Structures are given as C-alpha cells and as structure tokens.
Amino acid sequence: MSIEIESINKQFGSFTALGDVSLSIPSGELVALLGPSGSGKTTLLRIIAGLESPDSGRILFNGEDTTESHVRERKVGFVFQHYALFKHMTVFDNVVFGLTVRPKETRPSKGEIRDKVTELLRLVQLEGMAKRYPAQLSGGQRQRIALARALAVEPQVLLLDEPFGALDAQVRTELRRWLRRLHDEIHVTSVFVTHDQEEALEVADRIVVMNKGRIEQAGTPDQVYEHPANPFVLNFLGNVNLFHGRIQSAGEGQPEADNSVSYVRSHDVEIDRSQHDSSSLKAEVKHIQKLGPSVRITLSINDSESFVEAELTRDVFQNLDLQQGEQVYVRPRQVRVFAEDYQI
Amino acid sequence: MKLFTKHHNVLPGFGPTMGYTLLYLSLVVLIPLSALVFKTAGLSWNEFLEAVAAPRVLASYKVTFGAALAAAGINAVFGVLVAWVLVRYPFPGRRLVDALVDLPFALPTAVAGITLATVYSPNGWVGKILEPRGIKVAFTPLGIIVAMTFIGLPFVVRTVQPVIEELDAEIEEAAACLGANRWQTFRRVLFPLLTPSVLTGFALAFARGVGEYGSIIFIAGNMPMVSEITPLLILTKLEQYDYQGATAIATVMLVASFIMLLVINLLQKWSRRYAE
C-alpha cells in the first residue's frame, strides 16, 4: 500500500517538529527516515501511524485520506524502540493480542489463531518460545516478538521506530540483515526510523534524510551517498568519514567559486610521500588511530590551522609505513563543492 | 549456616543491623503476640471453645470480617478510580484532592467516628437524605462498612498510584495500534499490570478494617449479634476482668487475619508470575 504525505506541519509549543513535509512512499518499499535526534523523523512516523495528529496537512493511504481516522482503524503495525511488549502475557498471548481484540464476527477461530502464531514464530525464528514471558527473552528476541505481534494483524503498513536502537552492536547488525530478508519475503510497505546511517544504507530501498523538521533529500542509498544534495546530507551520511578541512583550491573539473566550500570524505583522501600535482598539499602526520580494518590518520596542513582526517585500509597503511610527525602530501580523490557557505 | 556467611554488601555491618532488626521485631511484635498466646494457653480446650465460639462472638466475627472484606472491596474499586484520576487527568485542585486522600491516615479515629456518626445519623446531612428512602447507615452494619471504607481508602490509593504513574505510555499505544479499544486496553493490558498493587492495597485496607476500633464504635450502634465488632467484644471482656476470654478471642482474630493476609500474598505472587 502506498503512503502519501502532503505538506504536514506539526508544532510542539514553539518548537517546529515538522515544517511542510511532503513525501510519497510507493507500495512495497522499505524506506528509512534518517536524521539526527530532534529532526522530526519519529514525529513523522507517529503521524503516519495516527499516534500523533498533524496541525495541518494530509496523510493518504492508497490515495485515501486517513488523516482523521483513529490509529485503531489504520491497520498499521507499529514496532517501538523499547518493544512495548505486554509483560504479563506469554509470547503467544502477545502475538495474538491484535486478533483476540477483534469483534466476534471477524475474530478467527482458536485453531486458526494457533496456526497463525506457529507461522509467525517461524517467520521471526522463535519457534517453541510461545509459552515464555517477555522477561525470559533477550532484547533481540523481544524485538522479534514485537514484530511478530505487529504482523499478526496483517497490517497494510509496517512502521518501526528505531527498532534496533536498544540492542547491542552485534545483535543489531544481525537483526537488520534479518529485517531486510523478512521484507523481501513479505513485501509490506515499511517505514523505519533510524539515526544510524550505516543501518539506513544497508537496509533501506530508499532513504529520506531529515533535519530540523524538513526533508533534506530523498532517494536510493546510492543517490544520497554518491550525490548528496547538500553538505548536511554529505556530512550525515559520511559522519565518521568526513574530512573537516576547508580546501580552497579545487581540483580540475571542479567549479571555482569565491565562496565555495569543498567537502571530501576521509576515505577519499590519498596520502603520498611525493607531490602528485597542484592539488597536493603538504601536511604533517599528527595522529594515527587503528580501527580494526581501517586506519584513521589525522594530519595538519602546513601553513594553515586546518586538520584533515584520512581513512586508509590497513593494507595501504602498511605499504606506506607512516610514522607520527612525518611530512607527507595529501590529495583529495573526489571533491564535492557546494557554492554557498551552508550551515550544518 | 548460610544466613551468617559473609556477603560483600554495600551496606556495612550486617551483624549489628540484623541483630537490631531481630531485637526490635521481638520487642515490638513477637513478645506481645506470644504473651497473648501464652495467656490463652491457660484455658482448657473446652473453656477456649466456649470463649471463642459463643453465638455472640461468632456473630461479631461475621460482622467484623464481613464488613472489612466489603470495605476493602469497595476501596479496591474506588481507590483505583481515585488513583487513576489523580495520575491521568490534570484538573484544577488536583494537589488538594491528592492531599485529602491522606486525611483518614492523619485524623484521630474517634474524630472520624463521631463525624461519620453525625453525618449519617437520621438527622445528619447525609442521613437525612437516605433515611426517607429506607437506607439506614448509622447504628447498622452498613455504618461499620462506611467507617472501614473511610479509614481504608488511602491504603489502596497510595499503593496503586505509583504503579499507574509508572505505566509506559507505549504499551497503550501498542494496544491501540493492534486494534484494541480503550476498554479492552484497560481490561487486558493495564489492569493486569495494576493487579498486584491493587491486591496489596486490598490486603492493607482489610487488615486495617479488621483492627479498627475508634471510628467504628460511634457509628456502629454496637448491638450484640447485629452490629458489634470483635475488638469491642474484647474490650467488654477486659472490662469484666475476663482476661483469658479476651485473649482467646484475640488469638482467633490473629490467626484468621494471618491466614487471610497469607492467602492475599499468595494471590499477589500468582498475579506477578510473569516477572520471574
């Protein structure tokens, strides 16, 4: 089912949570709302679910206006960051809750419900856990039960609010891959909120980058990563890998503007012992930090105050055999120039 | 013995604190209670039965425990309601109402008893309205229930209130997303989470009701076989210098209350079975 978001506004007191946000989500896609905290991504998700109502604007499900309809009637599955499982119910009762609250005429029979639970527990790979209580499960298992519970009512839309935010790194990676496979299996239109760019890039069909209540860019992971619309998107998607320096001399084929600021991702910084061309800058190695498969090197550009961060693979680093305090040349491999001085 | 093995606890001085706890409990609780039992043990079995199973005494058990159960039940329902309103709905004067709830704790019970008796007597403010409709409150068992409800209310409100405050809003949202209406959300999701605290409040209100004396004797009328509570009967026996008879009845009350509280505690444990 497709979702159409038409110029949604939402204020909390004097704080603008969402300012004129429009977005269309095609049926069957897995979309990530990505942004820092306070960017309005969770508010947008809650408005889609009907847990929050917009000050103005419309939400359309399959072209039908649902702005005024109650969360009960929207048929959305919602997964919360902290699971929100009913702790006094067994896994079985949690999963079937949405079916058993239906009026008698539409409620499935006991046998159908049992089959449904078996099927869902298989889907979330927790067969045989039906009789346990949430307190007896791990965080990752609880979140999968929460997902099974949301899927039990056969929602038209699945909404996930930082679903892996409360889990540790390894379970997180595992679960997001699993979510991707699950989506490929059931194809329900899904929107998930995250502040983790890696998670968004890995899982989503489309990424919507949000900041300060507005959408900065929406596109496929490749589009937003390779062709960021503005410095915010570039900065946010390369968060750790950003090269913070202001390089005034742009490389060949780059626009030369007086007020331009260039951005280079840190893994696009090349380090050399000899000068390559005019875009090479002399710099001193200040700090070397080994981060598992990659090595982060902080350099200070000679004759300026600015620092540059470069990220090399371990292989390249070992071949170069860099030492702290050494004089080298740095050269940006790929430069992105944005004409005006954009405030991040 | 495991009790005395060394644990590395943050609180220092396990020995002295445990010793003080035992001493304190002995002096304040155990010694008076065992004195009660020892005094009763001076009676022969037949004398004991005669003292505790006389028709007038049996009737007083029925009145006391029946009224205490009824009052605790009423408080369990309306106390939850009061706690819910105090937590969930902001309204002007909420803090004042919140403070009013504690009044039965603070008010001398005799004052409460006289006030209730006055208000509910046939020419009192409330009694005047109820009397023509054939409802007699003062000087009947109903009056006892009213008095016990009055003094038991804060127990339920104060035990349930913090639990309602702690309820996670996301749980209600999750239920709504799954299609539950508000009543279903309350009955199937919220109320089961409140049950343990409601039972605790019920048990406390019940125990308080059984032991209450001051506020009841003014409104009860104290008619033997009809509206005479057991504590009053014990006092009567004491005034007649029948000390053993008094302690015998007290022992029965003690055992009955203890069993009741035990049952409620087991129920409470069962209602929290999911937490283990």
A149-201 pLDDT tens trace: 999 998 989 999 999 888 888 888 888 888 899 899 888 999 999 998 889 99
Boundary of a domain, candidates A237, A267, A295? A237
Q: Which residues contact B165 (CB under 8 A, 6 or more apart)?
A: B87
**Are A42 and A171 part of one and the same domain?**
yes
Give a yes or no: residue A181 inside a domain: yes
For residues A64 and A280, the model is more confident at A64
Dihedral sign, CA of B41, B46, B49, B55? negative
pLDDT computed for residue B270 by the predictor: 86
C-alpha–C-alpha distance, residues B101 and A303, integer Å? 74
Give a yes or no: residue B8 inside a domain: no
Report pTM.
Answer: 0.79
pLDDT at A306 over 80: no
Contacts of A97 in chain B (CB under 8 A): 175, 178, 180, 188
Give a yes or no: residue A344 inside a domain: no
For residues A239 and B121, the model is more confident at B121
pLDDT at B164 over 90: yes
Contacts of A82 in chain B (CB under 8 A): 168, 170
pLDDT at A73 over 50: yes
pLDDT computed for residue A257 by the predictor: 47
Mean pLDDT of chain B: 89
**Are A305 and A233 part of one and the same domain?**
no
Q: Comparing C-alpha atoms, which of B270, B88, B222, B53 is closest to residue B161?
A: B88
**Are A65 and A163 part of one and the same domain?**
yes
Beta-carbon separation of A87 and B184 below 8 A:
no
The minimum CA-CA distance between B270 and chain A, rounded to whole Å, is 11
Residue A39: CATH number of its domain: 3.40.50.300
Beta-carbon separation of A78 and B175 below 8 A:
no
**Are A131 and A267 part of one and the same domain?**
no
Boundary of a domain, candidates A237, A254, A275? A237
At residue A240 the predicted structure's pLDDT band, cuts being 50, 70 and 90, is: very low
**Are A88 and A218 part of one and the same domain?**
yes
Token pair belonging to B146: 């009213």
**Are A225 and A93 part of one and the same domain?**
yes
Closest residue in A to B274 (Cα–Cα):
A88
Q: Which residues contact B53 (CB under 8 A, 6 or more apart)?
A: none
pLDDT computed for residue B5 by the predictor: 56
Give a yes or no: residue B32 inside a domain: no
Using CB atoms, which residue from B170, B176, B188 is nearest to A72?
B176
**Are A107 and A152 part of one and the same domain?**
yes
Using CB atoms, which residue from B168, B184, B192 is nearest to A88?
B192
pLDDT computed for residue A339 by the predictor: 60
Residue B183 near chain A (CB below 8 Å): no
Residues B236 and B66: beta-carbon distance below 8 Å: no
> Which site among A75, A81, A97, A158 would you substitute to test the B interface, given the most B Cβ atoms closer than 10 Å to its Cβ?
A97
Report, as an integer, the average pLDDT of B92-103: 92
Q: Which residue numbers of A have CB closer than 8 Å to B's CBs?
A: 49, 51, 70-72, 76-78, 80, 82, 84-90, 97-98, 101-102, 133-135, 146, 149-150, 152-153
Q: A328 is in which domain, residue-wise?
A: 243-338
Contacts of B276 in chain A (CB under 8 A): 133, 135
Total tally of structural domains belonging to chain A: 2
pLDDT at B234 over 80: yes
Mean pLDDT of chain A: 85
Report, as an integer, the average pLDDT of A69-78: 89
Report, as an integer, the average pLDDT of B111-128: 89
Dihedral sign, CA of A162, A164, A167, A168? negative
**Are A60 and A196 part of one and the same domain?**
yes
Report, as an integer, the average pLDDT of B8-15: 74
Boundary of a domain, candidates A237, A270, A287? A237
Total tally of structural domains belonging to chain B: 1
Give a yes or no: residue A297 inside a domain: yes
Q: Which amino acid is at A336?
A: R
Using CB atoms, which residue from A87, A135, A153 is nearest to B179?
A153
pLDDT computed for residue A241 by the predictor: 45
C-alpha–C-alpha distance, residues A48 and A54, integer Å? 9
Beta-carbon separation of A89 and B274 below 8 A:
yes
Q: Comparing C-alpha atoms, which of B196, B138, B135 is closest to residue B162?
A: B196
Residue B137: CATH number of its domain: 1.10.3720.10
Using CB atoms, which residue from A80, A102, A135 is nearest to B174?
A80
Question: Model confidence over A265-283: pLDDT tens digits?
Answer: 887 888 888 877 777 778 8
Beta-carbon separation of A88 and B171 below 8 A:
no
pLDDT at A69 over 80: yes
Q: Comparing C-alpha atoms, which of A156, A91, A111, A99 is closest to residue B180?
A: A99
pLDDT at A37 over 50: yes
Tell me the residues of chain B between 124 and 153 that have a Cβ less than 8 Å away from chain A.
none
The minimum CA-CA distance between B201 and chain A, rounded to whole Å, is 20
Give a yes or no: residue A343 inside a domain: no
At residue A259 the predicted structure's pLDDT band, cuts being 50, 70 and 90, is: low
The minimum CA-CA distance between B236 and chain A, rounded to whole Å, is 49
Q: Is A286 exposed, middle or buried, given 0-12, 13-18 or 19+ CB atoms closer than 10 A?
A: middle
Token pair belonging to B191: 């109320």
Q: Which residues contact A156 (CB under 8 A, 6 or more apart)?
A: A1, A61, A62, A74, A75, A76, A188, A189
At residue B8 the predicted structure's pLDDT band, cuts being 50, 70 and 90, is: low
pLDDT at B9 over 80: no
C-alpha–C-alpha distance, residues B261 and B69, integer Å? 12
Using CB atoms, which residue from B168, B193, B275 is nearest to A135?
B275
Residue A327: CATH number of its domain: 2.40.50.100
Beta-carbon separation of A87 and B178 below 8 A:
no
Give a yes or no: residue A123 inside a domain: yes
Ordered alpha helix ranges (H), A227-323: 231-237, 314-320
Q: Comparing C-alpha atoms, which of B170, B146, B151, B154 is closest to residue B86?
A: B154
Report, as an integer, the average pLDDT of A289-310: 82
Question: Model confidence over A79-136: pLDDT tens digits?
Answer: 999 999 999 999 999 999 999 999 988 899 999 999 999 999 998 888 888 999 999 9
* Phi, psi (deg, nearest 5) at residue A131: -90, -5
pLDDT at A251 over 80: no
Q: Which residues contact A184 (CB under 8 A, 6 or more apart)?
A: none
**Are A254 and A225 part of one and the same domain?**
no
pLDDT computed for residue A20 by the predictor: 92
Beta-bridge partner residues of B146:
none
Decide: helix, strand or coil at residue A201: helix
Total Cβ atoms within 10 A of residue B208: 20
Beta-carbon separation of A101 and B168 below 8 A:
no
C-alpha–C-alpha distance, residues B28 and B250, integer Å? 17
Give a yes or no: residue A95 inside a domain: yes
Give a yes or no: residue A183 inside a domain: yes
At residue A72 the predicted structure's pLDDT band, cuts being 50, 70 and 90, is: confident
**Of A5-9, B71-75, B96-100, B265-269, the least confident:** B265-269
Report, as an integer, the average pLDDT of A202-218: 93
Strand order in the sheet with A206-211: A76-79, A157-161, A189-194, A30-34, A206-211, A214-219
- Could you identify the residue written with the tokens 């005047």? B128
Contacts of A49 in chain B (CB under 8 A): 177
Q: B269 is in which domain, residue-wise?
A: 46-275
* Of the ranges A161-175, B120-134, B154-168, the best mean pLDDT one: B154-168
- Prediction ipTM score: 0.81
Give a yes or no: residue B9 inside a domain: no
Beta-carbon separation of B177 and A149 below 8 A:
no
Dihedral sign, CA of B140, B141, B142, B146? positive
Closest residue in A to B178 (Cα–Cα):
A98
**Are A198 and A332 part of one and the same domain?**
no
Residues B139 and B220: beta-carbon distance below 8 Å: yes
Give a yes or no: residue A226 inside a domain: yes
At residue A260 the predicted structure's pLDDT band, cuts being 50, 70 and 90, is: low
Give a yes or no: residue B243 inside a domain: yes
Contacts of A91 in chain B (CB under 8 A): none
Q: Comparing C-alpha atoms, which of A120, A180, A182, A116 is closest to residue A145?
A: A120
Tell me the residues of chain B between 152 and 181 that have a Cβ less than 8 Å away from chain A.
168, 170-171, 173-181
Beta-bridge partner residues of B203:
none
pLDDT computed for residue A330 by the predictor: 84
Q: Which residues contact B242 (CB under 8 A, 6 or more apart)?
A: B51
At residue A344 the predicted structure's pLDDT band, cuts being 50, 70 and 90, is: very low
**Are A193 and A294 part of one and the same domain?**
no
pLDDT computed for residue A51 by the predictor: 92
Closest residue in B to A148 (Cα–Cα):
B178
Beta strand spans in A172-243 (E): 189-194, 206-211, 214-219, 242-243
- A vs B, Cβ pairs < 8 A, gives 72
Token pair belonging to A101: 């609250």
Give percent of chain A above pLDDT 90: 44
pLDDT at A238 over 80: no
Give a yes or no: residue B200 inside a domain: yes
Closest residue in A to B172 (Cα–Cα):
A84
* Phi, psi (deg, nearest 5) at residue B128: -60, -35
pLDDT at A304 over 80: no
Q: What is the DSSP string of B203-246?
A: HHHHHHHHH--HHHHHHH---TTTS--HHHHHHHHHHTT-HHHH
C-alpha–C-alpha distance, residues A121 and A164, integer Å? 19
**Are A173 and A57 part of one and the same domain?**
yes
Beta-carbon separation of A72 and B179 below 8 A:
yes
